[in-house]
């Protein structure tokens, strides 16, 4: 994957897949790799009803 999708639902799916398949061990490392600001990513996805669960390492619907 060269870049993260912009569509919020595709983005959640991609982030969760990359974390689940252990491509990245943290959301921070994933964001660094794709040159994304972690706080902007979290805020964007929160607008669509998703929040990062650090213990489970995945974006979840709130």
**29-45 pLDDT, tens digit each:** 999 999 999 999 999 99
Asked if residue 59 is part of any domain, the answer here is no
Q: For residues 45 and 37, is the Cβ–Cβ distance under 8 A?
A: no
3-state secondary structure (DSSP) of residue 31? helix
pLDDT band at 22 (very low <50, low <70, confident <90, very high): confident
Q: What is the pLDDT, as a whole number, of residue 55?
A: 93
Asked if residue 57 is part of any domain, the answer here is no
Range of the domain at 23: 8-52
The total number of structural domains that make up the chain: 1
Asked if residue 18 is part of any domain, the answer here is yes
What DSSP line would sit under 30-55, residue for residue? HHHHTT--HHHHHHHHHHTTEEEETT
Asked if residue 39 is part of any domain, the answer here is yes
- Average pLDDT over the chain reads 95
Q: Decide if pLDDT at 5 tops 90.
A: yes
Sequence-distant (6+) residues with CB within 8 A of 37 are 31
Asked if residue 24 is part of any domain, the answer here is yes
Asked if residue 22 is part of any domain, the answer here is yes
Asked if residue 62 is part of any domain, the answer here is no
């Amino acid at each position: 994957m060269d870049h993260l999708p912009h569509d919020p639902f595709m983005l959640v799916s991609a982030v969760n897949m990359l974390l689940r398949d252990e491509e990245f061990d943290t959301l921070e490392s994933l964001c660094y790799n794709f040159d994304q600001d972690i706080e902007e990513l979290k805020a964007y996805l929160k607008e669509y009803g998703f929040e990062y669960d650090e213990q489970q390492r995945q974006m979840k619907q709130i």
